[in-house]
Amino acid sequence: MADRPVDPKGPKMTIPTQLVLRAMIADPTKEFYGLELGQLAELASGTIHPILARLEGCGWVESRWEDQDPREIGRPRRRYYQLTPGGVAYGARALQRVRTPAAMLARLVPRPVTGGGC
């Protein structure tokens, strides 16, 4: 995993981004693969990877390949994502700032993400 500088401002806090961050911060040391994280955050499949790419670009998330030989496991390797220490700290602060109740987030239908920082 190549270290990226952490951007304290992070990406634009869209609702889908908040949902992803909340899911990851709930278990900050856990590694997730994209589909799994999308299901946890209740986001459509195509929505999760652009968000993860932005979070990774900001240094809030890092990713690595599953440590398995595809020939042995009989399938391609999964890509695992995990919050960086900076991502945990800045992400928690960012979520506090937006003050969108989690219950409200859960009811909203996520829309495709556009724009954003980093």
- Give the footprint of other proteins on this chain (CB under 8 A): 33-36, 44-47, 49-51, 53-54, 56-57, 66, 70-79, 112-114, 116, 118
Q: Which is nearer to other proteins, 71 or 99 (CB)?
A: 71
Q: Which is nearer to other proteins, 96 or 114 (CB)?
A: 114
**Contact by Cβ (8 Å): 94, 10:** yes
Q: Taking the complex as a whole, how short is the minimal distance between the CB of residue 38 and other proteins, in angstroms?
A: 9
Asked whether the beta carbons of 28 and 83 are under 8 A apart, the reply is yes
Least distance in Å: CB of 112 to other proteins?
Answer: 6
For the CB of residue 59, give the shortest distance to other proteins in the complex, in Å. Answer: 10
Q: By CB neighbour count within 10 A (0-12 exposed, 13-18 middle, 19+ buried), where does 1 fall? A: exposed
Q: In what order do the strands lie in the sheet with 61-65?
A: 32-33, 79-83, 61-65
